[in-house]
Structure 1
Amino acid sequence: MKFARGLLLGLLALPLLASAEEIGSVSTVFKWVGPNDKIVVEAFDDPKVEGVTCYLSRAKTGGVKGGLGVAEDRAEASLACRQVGPIKFDPADLKDGDVVFQQRTSLVFKTMQVVRFLDKKRNTLVYLVYSDRVIDGSPQNAVTAIPILPWR
């Protein structure tokens, strides 16, 4: 019963996460059958912080498995978040470790996610990207920070 409730709550929360727009990609490995392996650059806006856009680059596996959506993508990713307008948010709505973006990177058990932290002492938003699995995750990660400054 608890599992079903958790699954339902998770599905209801999905629309609250940001969706990514593909900016571009480059092929890294030629595949005879199916799409090539590539590095994809995606952009997404923080759904709770107006004026912030994040750019994520990640590996996407090609071939037959990649074309069918059953390949497991690598855990490496790079992240750069930038202020693109006046930063506006309600501090009461932000919780440390909130998931801002989530992307499935294998058929079932692996996800790449971006989480947000608010460094109140330094007046800075900090974003972290990492990959996890049901059983074990990856220590590979990337971090970026945006000082909260007036927009000119």
Structure 2
Amino acid sequence: MRTNLDFSPLFRSSIGFDRMLNALEAASRTEMVDNWPSYDIVKTTEDDYRIAMDVAGFSPDELTITQEQNMLLVSGQKTNGEEVHYLHRGIASRSFQRRFELADHVKIVGAGLANGLLTVDLKREIPEEMKPREIEIKTNIALPKAESRQIEAEKAA
């Protein structure tokens, strides 16, 4: 049993986490699950990913890959070809639209279609200013001398 969580208290008390909270809220919504076309997500290296999607029967001109900010949208639209009388139709050829939420700094490197598999290669490219950097520790540095102040003692009368 799935319960809907209320994230509104977190929105009121946090600043700068709205993308994460929106993603949690979207994930908690119950939506109709469409498992077609099937796909795999593979982490090939530390910063490289690949999505492989089963799109048998679709040609490259019937597929569209779009990246809008942090969203990858893969859609397929069959063109109306010649009328064929099928005795059995087991290969799905309906239109589809599959969305993938991308993390910050993930870019699409390329895409290819071979043997009925659409592959989309992605790479996380962290900007240089956001990468960890090592700070050099210097030795034998003369520190500025602090002035020594003497507090006068009270004189006894």
Q: TM-score range by the shorter chain?
A: under 0.3
TM-score by length of 2: 0.24
Larger Cα Rg: Structure 1 or Structure 2?
Answer: 2
